[in-house]
Structure 1
Amino acid sequence: MHDIWNPWHGCRKCSEGCENCYMYFLDRMRDQDGSRIYRTKGGFRYPLSKDRQGRYKVKSGEMIRVCMTSDFFLEEADAWRDEAWAVMRRRRDVKFFLLTKRPERVASCLPYDWGEGWDHIFFNVTCENQRRADERIPILFELPFRHKGIMTAPLVGPVDLEKYLPEGQIEQVLCGGENYDGSRPCRYEWVKLLSDQCRAYDVTFDFIETGTYFVKDGKTYRIPDKRTQSVQAYRSGLSFQGREIRFHLTDEWGYDIPEKNLYVPRYHPVTCRECGSRLTCNGCSECGKCS
């Protein structure tokens, strides 16, 4: 699957959702320090990589999640960001998913030719509790992006979006519990509230995983296996496909790409059938590892 691009790695913790950061945990498992921030070597220009036939490995129409082991708007990455924007400028046929806990820095970090926004960029802020939702969503609304979403993961407290969804700016809400060291519980009623609110405003809601500790009807369930978390999230029936999000994708010369030439996700008949992320992922790359 070609769905992650990490032009740099490492981050500084800045809010409650960072307390048990999965990246820090995984780095510790490799005897590395997650607070060490560095530009990746082989992966910086990954969206531009090609196969032996000279075709892009990342296909037109795919969605790439950017900086999943860092923050795209991290201050320490200021020296590298223009080059990353240049990669996205060149691949206007690909959808780039940006996620940040630092929306206050975004306006000063946009490229010179941004204008009202590039139509292939999907900008999201993390809202792990109500405090961060009320802090970050008003900033999100003021920023010039054509596509906006919210990530409520790890969901460590209730989040009420009732006063924000009527604005019509939010196109998608992702939700998930917390994993790894020190995982805090995620509660069913928190997820149900978000699901109900998104349904009321026809906004896509994707409950991707329960987290290690999930509380429902007063009972705490310990679910250490992430695949089981994903299946249980899917089976909850809380995810919802809202109105279609339409990205305007073009080739390098600015011409529209015919629908028939865009990537169509495929799903594995077994491993993808009950996956919590199915609503919002690129599908199965048919790598053969799960057979």
Structure 2
Amino acid sequence: MADGSGIEWTEATWNPTTGCDRISAGCDNCYALTLAKRLKAMGNPKYQEDGDPRTSGPGFAVQEHPSALDIPYRWSAPRLIFVNSMSDLFHAKVSTPFIQEVFRVMEETPRHTYQLLTKRPRRAVRLASHLPWPSNVWLGVSVESEGQLGRLDELRQVPVATRFVSAEPLLGSLAGIDLNGIHWLIAGGESGPNHRQLDPAWVRELRDSCREQGVAFFFKQWGGTRPKSNGRELDGRLWDEMPVPTPA
């Protein structure tokens, strides 16, 4: 948990669950998996269980942390909170009752705005009728290449006030993307020693699609060996647009 975040599009992170499994190409160089290995070596108690070596790794088993549920109550000032920067709340190994507890916390702290990002929107659809969807909860899906565009169709089925897309790491062209019902799109390149190259044409395609379809556009980074290696400017300016939430 971090009150304050290096992620440009949020203000704090809250991890009621940790751990995950890779399911698509965007997961290949997962920063959270690498960080979990380091945290395990440091003795962090939340990262001592190992995940499946085929899809996860040291310290990255999916775990629920009930002790973390009270953290948002303790933050008195409103914050923009990224939920589960080290996990996916809709992972199959996260129990439905625990997901409901997380949503209860979000509903009871309307001063905060919560950003949930998932690669598993199908489960969100299945659970949608069993969860409250207050207007301070945003739900997004990761779409790193054309093969994941179907996640947008599933996202549109969830009765959430604000929907967003994270095209990071952007690994291919998403030309012609349908952003109907979407309020925000984040694009960015991959970082780390094995980062894959980001084509500026792919970013411009997304920016232009957002402008044509009335969607807020946020360009996070070009990526490189380090996240900030090549800056954040696109065509001579920063793109830090944020969504205007609509009623659920």
TM-score (norm 1): 0.69
Higher RCO, Cα 8 Å, sep 6+: 1
| Residues 163/182 of structure 1: CA separation in 2 closer, same or farther (3 Å cut) | closer
Name the residue aligned to 1:7: 16
Q: Secondary structure at the match of 2:183?
A: strand
Task: State the shift of 1:233 in Å.
Answer: 3.4
**Match status 1:132 vs 2:148:** yes
Name the count of aligned residue pairs.
Answer: 222
Pick one of 128, 144, 147 that aligns with 2:159.
Answer: 144
**Match status 1:46 vs 2:71:** yes
Pick one of 93, 96, 106 that aligns with 2:111.
Answer: 93
Deviations, residues 224-268 of structure 1 (Å, cap 9, x unaligned):
333344x343674362637x51367xxxxxxxxxxxxxxxxxxxx
Aligned residues with identical type, % of pairs:
24
Name the residue aligned to 1:68: 85
Residue type of the partner of 1:164? D
Task: State the shift of 1:28 in Å.
Answer: 2.4
| Residues 36/189 of structure 1: CA separation in 2 closer, same or farther (3 Å cut) | same
Moved more, 1-10 or 37-46: 37-46
Name the residue aligned to 2:217: 205
| Residues 38/179 of structure 1: CA separation in 2 closer, same or farther (3 Å cut) | same
Name the residue aligned to 2:128: 110
Name the residue aligned to 1:246: 245
| Residues 29/225 of structure 1: CA separation in 2 closer, same or farther (3 Å cut) | same
**Distance across 1 between alignment mates of 2:227 and 2:120:** 27
Task: State the shift of 1:44 in Å.
Answer: 3.0
TM-score (norm 2): 0.80
Task: State the shift of 1:86 in Å.
Answer: 1.2
Q: Who wins on radius of gyration, i.e. which is larger?
A: 1
**Distance across 2 between alignment mates of 1:194 and 1:34:** 35
**Distance across 1 between alignment mates of 2:217 and 2:137:** 19
Task: State the shift of 1:58 in Å.
Answer: 4.5
**Distance across 2 between alignment mates of 1:100 and 1:132:** 12
**Distance across 2 between alignment mates of 1:65 and 1:225:** 21
Deviations, residues 170-223 of structure 1 (Å, cap 9, x unaligned):
1110011112242111111111110111112231111101111xxxxxxxxxxx
**Match status 1:185 vs 2:197:** yes
Residue type of the partner of 1:194? L
| Contact kept in structure 2, 1:119 and 1:146, CA below 8 Å | yes
**Distance across 2 between alignment mates of 1:176 and 1:185:** 11
Name the residue aligned to 1:119: 135
Q: Secondary structure at the match of 2:223?
A: coil
Task: State the shift of 1:110 in Å.
Answer: 3.4
**Distance across 1 between alignment mates of 2:201 and 2:177:** 18
Q: Secondary structure at the match of 2:184?
A: strand
**Match status 1:27 vs 2:36:** yes
**Distance across 2 between alignment mates of 1:4 and 1:47:** 10
**Distance across 2 between alignment mates of 1:245 and 1:72:** 24
Pick one of 153, 159, 164 that aligns with 2:178.
Answer: 164
| Contact kept in structure 2, 1:104 and 1:139, CA below 8 Å | yes
**Distance across 2 between alignment mates of 1:182 and 1:238:** 26
